[in-house]
């Protein structure tokens, strides 16, 4: 399935490590013995066992299936516990405490699920899912700065064009810091949750075991589901992402580009990231397409920085800036306890309307600027292979 290079797992077949083993003084004999042993191990993966186990352990498709089953079960259990403790419940208002505890339940379920799947796959810890790499704190902090700067640029452009109006500040005094801290904690969990699923686990797993045809099949299934579900908001944004990635990924497949599995995985996970936002209130196709595009930018950040920490920081700061600092509409919702007050004005294509700044056409330009900044700052450096903490590869 055109897998990405992965570190040898504990107890992995000798076929994974034979090519890396140094030659001894009688190198030819040792290499012949290794090849013979590798061939014997390959024969063990035929038949029914082959359907579940590959050269890198549990196949990516089964791993993803187990992951989502376990995540659903553990998430439901924790939501039930939190509900009994009256930490979460059905609330119409968009508040920091409700968001914090709702996301906390999901993050705890995510960590537990990832730990179980890592154990099942024979991996050392959950950090292997794109959370290793150099300068993690620096990348996280720079992601925070990038997220705030990007959203501020978007708001500034909207205000300059007359598509967003500022009102009076909604908070004053100590309330500014109180609600700022509460929303910061809530959106940090949002960033950890969404990036943990899409840019950590799924991107890592799909990159090691997906090719163009599997990627196309997943995209087709999701688009087919949207066609049947008339309640999905902004479905055309998902269709656009699926079509936009079709030709580049097919070319990579035909040319057998090294490590093309990463880009096939980026295509799928970005499309899925847009898809999960179709259930939000007030979404339009621009907002969904923008979510998928930013998801792809986050995939690129994993590629060039070696981990998902930049993406986590950028995601959290973007949401905090939009929802709390500027008090803008976020997918049809206005937060309780926001700092500034802003309202959309004028043409919906430019203002975003009920979708907020993320529904404006201008968000596409901001996402592209983020991508260019990533490539300028990190693209020319020797990127760290996101799946191996100690290994480096050239783009």
Residue 22 belongs to some domain of the structure: no
Tokens matching residue 121? 């796959």
> Is the pLDDT at 21 greater than 50, yes or no?
no
CA 369 to chain centre: 19
Residue 146 has pLDDT above 50, yes or no: yes
- 3-state DSSP: the chain helix, strand, coil percent, rounded to 5? 65, 5, 30
Question: What's the CA gap between 370 and 36, in Å, rounded?
Answer: 50
**Dist CA 42 CA 217 (whole Å):** 28
pLDDT of residue 370: 95
SS3 80: helix
pLDDT mean across residues, the chain: 83
- Whether the per-residue pLDDT at 387 is higher than 90: the answer is no
For residues 379 and 285, the model is more confident at: 285
Q: What's the rounded Cα separation, in Å, for the pair 209 and 372?
A: 28
Residue-wise burial string across 87-122, b where 16 or more C-beta atoms lie within 10 A, e elsewhere: bbeeeeebbbebbbbbbbbbbbbbebbbebbbeebe
Q: Is residue 342 part of a domain?
A: yes
Structure confidence at residue 84 (pLDDT): 86
Q: Decide: residue 205, CB within 10 A, 0-12 exposed, 13-18 middle, 19+ buried.
A: buried
How many domains, the chain?
1
What is the pLDDT, as a whole number, of residue 171? 92
Instruction: Determine how many CB atoms are found less than 10 A away from the CB of residue 51.
Output: 12
Q: What is the pLDDT of residue 60?
A: 85
In a domain, 29, yes or no: no
Distant-in-sequence contacts of 180-183, Cβ < 8 A, 24+ apart: 180/324, 180/325, 180/339, 182/96, 182/97, 182/100, 182/337, 183/96, 183/99, 183/320, 183/323, 183/324, 183/335, 183/337
Residue 111 lies in a domain: no
Average pLDDT score over residue span 269-283? 88
Which ranges in 44-130 belong to alpha helices (H)? 48-52, 60-84, 96-121
Tell me if residue 53 falls in helix, strand or coil. strand
| Position 119 confidence tier, pLDDT thresholds 50, 70, 90 | very high
Q: Is residue 160 part of a domain?
A: yes
- Report pTM: 0.84
Give residue for tokens 């998430």: 75
Q: Is residue 348 included in any domain, yes or no?
A: yes
pLDDT digits (tens, 9 = 90+) for 186-199: 999 999 999 999 99
Q: Which domain holds residue 286?
A: 130-379
């Amino acid at each position: 399935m055109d897998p990405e290079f992965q570190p040898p797992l504990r107890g992995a077949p000798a076929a994974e490590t034979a090519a890396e083993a140094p030659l001894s003084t009688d190198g030819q004999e040792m290499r012949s013995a290794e090849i013979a042993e590798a061939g014997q191990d390959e024969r063990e993966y035929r038949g029914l066992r082959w359907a579940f186990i590959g050269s890198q352990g549990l196949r990516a498709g089964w791993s993803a299936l187990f992951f989502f089953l376990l995540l659903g079960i553990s998430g439901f259990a924790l939501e039930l516990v939190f509900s009994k403790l009256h930490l979460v419940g059905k609330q119409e208002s968009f508040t920091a405490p409700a968001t914090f505890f709702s996301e906390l339940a999901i993050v705890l379920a995510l960590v537990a699920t990832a730990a179980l799947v890592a154990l099942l796959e024979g991996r050392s810890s959950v950090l292997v899912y794109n959370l290793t790499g150099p300068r993690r704190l620096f990348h996280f902090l720079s992601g925070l700065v990038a997220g705030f700067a990007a959203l501020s640029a978007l708001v500034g452009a909207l205000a300059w064009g007359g598509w967003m109006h500022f009102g009076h500040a909604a908070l004053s005094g100590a309330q500014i810091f109180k609600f700022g801290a509460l929303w910061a904690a809530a959106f940090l969990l949002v960033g950890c949750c969404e990036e943990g699923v899409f840019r950590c686990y799924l991107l890592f797993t799909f990159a090691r075991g997906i090719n163009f045809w599997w990627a196309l099949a997943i995209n087709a299934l999701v688009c087919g589901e949207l066609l049947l579900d008339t309640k999905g908001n902004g479905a055309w944004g998902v269709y656009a992402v699926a079509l936009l990635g079709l030709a580049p990924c097919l070319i990579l497949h035909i040319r057998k580009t090294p490590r093309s599995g990463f880009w096939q995985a980026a295509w799928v996970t970005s499309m899925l990231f847009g898809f999960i936002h179709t259930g939000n209130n007030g979404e339009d196709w621009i907002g969904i397409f923008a979510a998928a595009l930013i998801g792809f930018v986050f995939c690129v950040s994993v590629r060039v920085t070696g981990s998902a920490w930049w993406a986590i920081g950028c995601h959290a700061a973007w949401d905090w800036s939009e929802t709390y600092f500027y008090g803008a509409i976020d997918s049809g919702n206005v937060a309780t306890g926001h700092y500034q007050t802003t309202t959309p004005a004028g043409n919906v294509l430019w203002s975003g309307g009920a979708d907020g700044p993320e529904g404006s056409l201008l968000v596409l330009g901001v996402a592209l600027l983020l991508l260019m900044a990533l490539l300028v700052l990190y693209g020319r450096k020797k990127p760290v292979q996101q799946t191996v903490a100690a290994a480096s590869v050239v783009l």
